[in-house]
Amino acid sequence: VTSRGVALTMSLLVALCASVAANSASTPTVAEIVAASGKEEWRALDPARTLYLQLPAGRVTIELVPEFAPLHAANILKLVADHYFDGLAVIRVQDNFVAQWGDTDDNKPRPLGGAREKLPAEYVTGYDPAAPFTRLPDLDGYAPQTGFFNSIPAARDPGSRAQWLAHCYGALGVARGNDPESGNGSSLYVVIGQAPRQLDRNIAVVGHVWQGMELLASLPRGSGALGFHENVAQHVPIASLRRAADVPEAERTPLEVLRSESRSFARLLDARRNRRDDWMKFSPGFVDVCNVPIPVRRRDPV
Amino acid sequence: VTSRGVALTMSLLVALCASVAANSASTPTVAEIVAASGKEEWRALDPARTLYLQLPAGRVTIELVPEFAPLHAANILKLVADHYFDGLAVIRVQDNFVAQWGDTDDNKPRPLGGAREKLPAEYVTGYDPAAPFTRLPDLDGYAPQTGFFNSIPAARDPGSRAQWLAHCYGALGVARGNDPESGNGSSLYVVIGQAPRQLDRNIAVVGHVWQGMELLASLPRGSGALGFHENVAQHVPIASLRRAADVPEAERTPLEVLRSESRSFARLLDARRNRRDDWMKFSPGFVDVCNVPIPVRRRDPV
């Protein structure tokens, strides 16, 4: 956290950058790592598994990750294809926890159409030990292994060959009741605070928000229990939830993500773990899987 | 994360509570732990070290912790006594990181009055091994030991006998430039996202927000570099920053915090670490120091 004078004054910033560049022992900044990266180190989001959540303040871009919860991802895509979410709302914003959207009327719930009411509990999935996983060497209290699957924070238990997406900031999860099979994707939440890793292996995490987190995280908090809004006037309307592939190409947000298996991602992890520069006085030598700012950017027109 | 139907329907909630009460193997909820706690397990915030930050949306209640950065706490109290912050603004809101307030005009900075321009780097402080510290048994990647000092998340390094307040959600820190002595308390920040523990031991953390976090965390994000607001119109004005002791008693927010050395706090830690109830399918057997919801409530009138 820099003081405002340092951060805002461009001449000072330039001087700082020069000073960092001159110091060969300095770790690069995220911006420097991105600037030095090759085009092949990025992957474009696949429109077939990318969702656009349209809030009054703008678009939230979400990637589904069917590899971790295939039936949930398929059910969500079915609901999205049916325009199930259009006209529903963000019904819950609990500070330092989640923003959640879904049906707004308990008494007269919207029909799920062709989507399923119940789904098997896809809280973890099996994996092939040879499958791609950018593992962190750093210890973690919530899981035997942590790392990244296609640049998304994830965790593994080699003993049971289970893997799951970690509840980090931006994780998309499927709300459920006590019945482990009661989650069906008609109510979804995004983590907007400190990673609630205690939910890992308890709920299906099925995606990751790549753009527009600030639109969810800055919503007014609900005043009811668990952050639910107490009256309909507080609901934040969802204009639409669409698959990118179903949106005209000119209206898409073409994002690309730095690949977790790339050399630049390894540089990023090292810089987070062992940051050395003129500001940093003590380097932790450690990074938490939820504490890596994953580079995402608008793709250049082809 | 419960589905809306379960969380909102009161009859279902009552049924759930009855079911939990009937299941002797269940861990208690935070509400149940609080309800069963004794009055002596709570400490009232001391008005001499409590600050009220007045934002347009309401009051943020902050406790200063001079034990960890005495010169910084004293300098902040001097600035507060001089009404230094009144009419200044929140100048930076960086998503998943910090909200920061301070001077709004680099060209004509407000004089610091009797407060000091520079302070020694109080990033860590020494400690007596016998001093009160509610230590967590859980491992932590950023520090040899973590726990709570007067219910506030903290960390220790027994090797160097250093202790510091951990950068968890709600931590109050002192912004600084590259010069380690350039922080003076005239620009302060609060953590509003995933705990940036990499800042631990790099900056003076001098307090904790006990009430009103949602007012800071839901502020619109700044569009400039590092979340700084790019023009003055985006600044969120600070009406005042006052010491509770300087506010008429009837206008104070009399809060009390569950003592970290209490039996009820130990129950809380156990329930977070080993949660068992009808919703939870997998208990982590672990809790991160930044992942404990610390009970705070309005004190009953004496």
* Interchain contact B227–A (C-beta under 8 A): no
Which tens digits make up the pLDDT trace of B111-138?
A: 999 999 999 999 999 999 888 999 999 9
**pLDDT value, residue B71:** 98
Asked whether the beta carbons of residue A1 and residue B142 sit closer than 8 angstroms, the reply is: no
Q: How far is A217 from chain B (nearest CA, A)?
A: 6
Which tens digits make up the pLDDT trace of A186-202?
A: 999 999 999 999 999 99
Cβ atoms of residues A262 and A300 within 8 Å: no
- Nearest partner of B195 among A155, A203, A211, A289, judged by Cα: A289
Residues 6+ apart with CB under 8 A from B66: B49, B73, B74, B206
Within 10 angstroms of residue A48's Cβ, the number of other Cβ atoms is: 12
**pLDDT value, residue B24:** 54
Q: How confident is the model at residue A25 (pLDDT cuts 50, 70, 90)?
A: confident
> What number of C-beta contacts closer than 8 Å exist between A and B?
200
Cβ atoms of residues A173 and A191 within 8 Å: yes
Cβ atoms of residues A15 and A23 within 8 Å: no
Give the separation between CA A81 and CA A79, rounded to whole angstroms.
5
Give the separation between CA B62 and CA B207, rounded to whole angstroms.
7
Per DSSP, the three-state class of B270 is helix
A 58-87: CB under 8 A from B: none
Asked whether the beta carbons of residue B3 and residue A183 sit closer than 8 angstroms, the reply is: yes
Give the separation between CA B271 and CA B177, rounded to whole angstroms.
41
Q: What is the DSSP letter of B99?
A: E
Query: Which chain A residue has the Cα nearest residue B193?
Result: A193
Which tokens is B286 given?
């672990």
Distance separating the N- and C-terminal Cα atoms of chain B? 37
* Interchain contact A116–B (C-beta under 8 A): no
Q: What sign for the dihedral angle of Cα B268, B274, B276, B279?
A: positive
Of B95, B123, B275, the CB nearest to A198: B275
Of B1, B16, B142, the CB nearest to A203: B1
Which tens digits make up the pLDDT trace of B52-88?
A: 999 999 999 999 999 999 999 999 999 999 999 999 9
Per DSSP, the three-state class of A102 is strand
Residues in chain A: 302
Of A2, A92, A220, the CB nearest to B177: A2
List, for chain B, all residue ranges whose pLDDT scores fall below the cut of 50. 5-23
Give the separation between CA B193 and CA B99, rounded to whole angstroms.
10
- Whose tokens are 């009741």? That residue is A177
Asked whether the beta carbons of residue B182 and residue A281 sit closer than 8 angstroms, the reply is: no
Asked whether the beta carbons of residue B217 and residue A106 sit closer than 8 angstroms, the reply is: no
Residues 6+ apart with CB under 8 A from A15: none
**pLDDT value, residue A16:** 41
Burial of B145 (0-12, 13-18, 19+ CB in 10 A): middle
The answer to ipTM > 0.85 is yes
Q: How confident is the model at residue A290 (pLDDT cuts 50, 70, 90)?
A: very high
Asked whether the beta carbons of residue A141 and residue B284 sit closer than 8 angstroms, the reply is: yes
Which tens digits make up the pLDDT trace of A229-269?
A: 999 999 999 999 999 999 999 999 999 999 999 999 999 99
